[in-house]
């Protein structure tokens, strides 16, 4: 980028695309670039809520005049990493009517008959919208790799297919913000135990989550590969230290703010005669 600017959180959390990723080198309790504690983070979040909603409204307003731009937030991370909590707390600050949220589950038989990107394309945000994917096409190189749900050659091709797909999205006005919510093995244990300790959290618990947990090293490796092979200037990955929920929420909100500010959406100019419309209104019985 030729334009000089103060480095933002986006610069601090962007996964480098020139070398392999080693997740063990990233502290999941870090608070990179963030406020000094939870109280300061909550205060900052409360302060920026209105700016986020205002930028979202501008983006929407611009779309009514033909601006095709939109934002797609992709949330990935191990079970309990806080994908759902991020939607609740961060996306909860936006006007819900401009948000298109999709939580991807295991593909249905119908979905499995198509290319893995088929169901993704159907859930993309429309111009002016903020799209949120809770899991995404990356599952097809994560659980699919760990659980060997596709032949190795096919898995190998998917990284390039994802890159091509995301490039085409960027060309069509989609600002991609891909967040990997990075939690530690110990933190996941604490969170799963907490779900067991509270009867009002049992519904969130799935015995299958323990089976997945036993494959932790394989998942970390799959994430390292996905983050490395699918980071590009147009569609970078951001690694969000997520052991502290307040930092995770602050950081994702800040990334959204930085990207929306960079888009700088504007209210469209009136395409009608304002004076004439006013006169008609005042004249009416």
Residues near a second copy, by CB under 8 A: 61, 64-65, 84, 87-88, 91-92, 94-97, 99, 101, 103, 134, 189, 192-193, 196, 199-200, 202-205, 207, 210, 213-214, 267-270, 272, 274, 277-278, 280-282, 284
Token pair listed for 11: 């610069």
Strand, coil or helix: 74: strand
Report the nearest approach of a second copy to the CB of residue 269 (Å).
7
Residue 2 vs 207, nearer CB to a second copy: 207
Residue 213 vs 245, nearer CB to a second copy: 213
List of residues 6+ apart from 82 with CB closer than 8 A: 181, 183, 242, 245, 248
CA distance 238 to 221: 17
Beta bridge mates, 72: 131, 176
Lookup result for tokens 């005669």: 273
Report the nearest approach of a second copy to the CB of residue 192 (Å).
6
Q: In what order do the strands lie in the sheet with 70-77?
A: 99-103, 130-134, 70-77, 174-182, 237-241
Report the nearest approach of a second copy to the CB of residue 212 (Å).
12
Residue 90 vs 141, nearer CB to a second copy: 90
Report the nearest approach of a second copy to the CB of residue 109 (Å).
18
Report the nearest approach of a second copy to the CB of residue 165 (Å).
24
Q: Kindly list the distances between the CA atom of residue 1 and the CA atoms of 4, 5, 7, 77, 118, in Å, as whole numbers in the listed order.
A: 8, 9, 12, 29, 33
Residue 94 vs 247, nearer CB to a second copy: 94
Token pair listed for 106: 């295991």
Q: How far apart are the first and last CA of the chain?
A: 57
Report the nearest approach of a second copy to the CB of residue 197 (Å).
8
Quote the strand ranges of the chain, DSSP E: 70-77, 99-103, 130-134, 174-182, 237-241
Residue 37 vs 273, nearer CB to a second copy: 273
Residue 157 vs 278, nearer CB to a second copy: 278
């Amino acid at each position: 980028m030729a334009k000089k600017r103060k480095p933002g959180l986006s610069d601090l959390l962007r996964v480098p695309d020139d070398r392999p990723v080693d997740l063990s080198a990233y502290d999941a309790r870090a608070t990179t670039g963030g406020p000094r504690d939870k109280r300061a983070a909550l205060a900052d979040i409360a302060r920026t809520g209105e700016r986020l909603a205002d930028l979202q409204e501008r983006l929407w307003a611009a779309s009514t005049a033909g601006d095709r731009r939109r934002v797609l937030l992709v949330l990935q991370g191990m079970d309990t990493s806080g994908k759902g909590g991020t939607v609740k707390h961060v996306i909860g600050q936006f006007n819900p009517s401009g948000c298109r949220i999709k939580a991807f589950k295991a593909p249905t038989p119908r979905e499995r008959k198509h290319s893995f990107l088929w169901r993704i394309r159907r859930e993309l945000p429309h111009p002016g919208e903020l799209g949120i994917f809770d899991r995404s096409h990356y599952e097809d190189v994560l659980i699919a790799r760990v659980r060997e749900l596709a032949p190795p050659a096919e898995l190998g091709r998917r990284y390039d297919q994802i890159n091509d797909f995301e490039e085409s999205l960027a060309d069509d006005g989609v600002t991609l913000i891909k967040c990997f919510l990075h939690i530690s093995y110990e933190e996941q244990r604490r969170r799963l135990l907490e779900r067991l300790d509270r009867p009002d959290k049992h519904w969130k618990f799935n015995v299958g989550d323990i089976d997945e947990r036993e494959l932790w090293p394989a998942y970390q490796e799959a994430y390292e590969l996905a983050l490395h092979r699918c980071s590009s200037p147009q569609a970078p990955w951001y690694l969000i230290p997520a052991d502290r929920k307040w930092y995770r929420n602050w950081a994702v909100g800040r990334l959204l703010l930085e990207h929306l500010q960079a888009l700088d959406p504007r209210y469209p100019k009136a395409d009608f005669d304002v004076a004439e419309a006013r006169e008609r209104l005042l004249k009416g019985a």
